[in-house]
Amino acid sequence: MMPRSELSDVTALTRRLVAFDTINPPGRETEAMRYCAGLLESIGFDCHLISHGEGRSSLVAQRGPEGGLVFSGHLDTVPLGRAPWTHPPHEGRIEGDQLYGRGSSDMKGGIAAFLVAAARNASKTGTGVILTAGEETGCDGARWLAEAGRLPKTGALVVGESTDNQPLAGHKGALWLKLTAKGRTAHGATPELGVNAIATLSPTLARLCAYQPETFHPQMGRATCNLGTIRAGINVNSVPDLCELTVDLRSVEGISHAELTAEIAARCDAGIGIETLLDLASVWTDPENPWFAAAARSARGITGRQDSLSCATYFTDASILKPALGDPPVMILGPGGMDQPHGTDEYVRLSRLAEAVEIYAALIASAG
Ligand SMILES: [Zn+2]
């Protein structure tokens, strides 16, 4: 089987992927997934498209035996935002070293680079690829794959999110909770006839204002708690019967989301409801892990850069994939710019794309 010609040019392939409108919502990743599956099949991968409904699907591809290196990336992008773009967002226009387009950095450039690297190592077996839908709305595609039991055995996972090709060892987790106090409405002139939900929540609110988790990780930093929104009442002359508070907890290695939820619950008065809005675990791989250390050394040998940074500021599909894959070591490394994701006039540097192909090719070649 001949590798398809698109697999010889990472710039052209990035432009081709950017041309698919996979803005999420609504997503519509299937066409782009089918295109990637065709490319992967031309270099010996068995491809399985898993549907998540109309126009939505994720792709699991494997070349040879499972248990080796797996690359993961998402094909959906965030919306364009309100500010006008000076470069058409799906044309992949090139100016100097920059290729512009929604998803160029986050993260179609990373996916293109891995596919080109896999084509360069066409005879190397034992490589897997997971391309997800719906990452930008909270890792939905990864969750659907995990729930469907469709993930391959994995020795090590590379997530191709934007890191300027720096090898990162993880990121914080995110746990968003909604706390609800209920009351009974009445006219504002006769408050004694009602139960004021603001008053009901107030002691809990005061306790949470004074709360920060104590867990500290030397590389990841501190777990944090932020009260994000509070909503109650319809008008000034009624007793509010509902008060809702949202809480944004960011976790690090050393504290689970069940433990964080328990810490919040311990500060809530009886009758306060707790609902989970988002639950994405932290991701961390010891940089001394033999695979991680060798892969990071190899990547730095190619970029010639020594990086002090070890964690991403954003979350990734690894929150879902790492536990679902049996806890392999994870490296986050991709050609996108760290300052690019979700911005207007998003671009990826052509020099970073070429560098990522070299890094991924070396990882594939040296994988067990
Ligand atoms: Zn991303």
**Span 69-82, pLDDT tens digits:** 999 999 999 999 99
Distance between Cα 316 and ligand 1 center (Å): 7
Write the DSSP symbol of residue 184.
B
| pLDDT computed for residue 1 by the predictor | 65
Q: Are the beta carbons of 127 and 135 closer than 8 angstroms?
A: no
Handedness of CA 353, 76, 60, 326 (dihedral sign): positive
| pLDDT computed for residue 52 by the predictor | 93
The stretch 337-345 carries a mean pLDDT of 91
Distance between Cα 366 and ligand 1 center (Å): 26
Selected from 3.40.630.10, 3.30.9.10, 3.40.50.150, 3.40.190.10, the CATH number assigned to the domain covering 5-171+282-366 reads 3.40.630.10
The stretch 3-31 carries a mean pLDDT of 96
Distance between Cα 136 and ligand 1 center (Å): 7
Which residue blocks in 3-158 are alpha helix, DSSP H? Answer: 10-19, 30-41, 109-120, 140-148
| pLDDT computed for residue 76 by the predictor | 97
Whether residue 335 has a cis bond before it, omega within 30° of 0:
no
| pLDDT computed for residue 163 by the predictor | 97
The stretch 128-141 carries a mean pLDDT of 96
Handedness of CA 276, 280, 281, 282 (dihedral sign): negative
Locate CATH 3.30.70.360 in the chain: 173-280
| pLDDT computed for residue 307 by the predictor | 78
**Global confidence as pTM:** 0.92
The residue whose two tokens read 């050394």 is 297
Q: List the catalytic residues.
A: 76, 135
Res 38 pLDDT > 70 = yes
Locate CATH 3.40.630.10 in the chain: 5-171+282-366
Distance between Cα 281 and ligand 1 center (Å): 16
On average, the pLDDT of the chain sits at 96
The stretch 234-262 carries a mean pLDDT of 97
Question: What residue ranges in the chain does DSSP mark as E strands?
Answer: 46-53, 56-63, 69-74, 94-95, 98-100, 127-132, 156-159, 170-171, 173-182, 216-217, 221-222, 224-232, 242-251, 273-280, 283-284, 311-312, 330-332, 347-349
Distance between Cα 110 and ligand 1 center (Å): 10
| pLDDT computed for residue 185 by the predictor | 97
Res 178 pLDDT > 90 = yes
The stretch 302-320 carries a mean pLDDT of 91
Res 341 pLDDT > 90 = no
- Closest by CA to 335, choosing from 364, 309, 358, 365, is 358
Distance between Cα 235 and ligand 1 center (Å): 41
Q: What is the pLDDT of residues 251-302, one digit of tens each?
A: 999 999 999 999 999 999 999 999 999 999 999 999 999 999 999 999 999 9
| pLDDT computed for residue 308 by the predictor | 76
Q: Are the beta carbons of 244 and 219 closer than 8 angstroms?
A: no
| pLDDT computed for residue 4 by the predictor | 87
Res 363 pLDDT > 80 = yes
Q: In this structure, which topology does domain 173-280 adopt according to CATH?
A: Alpha-Beta Plaits (3.30.70)
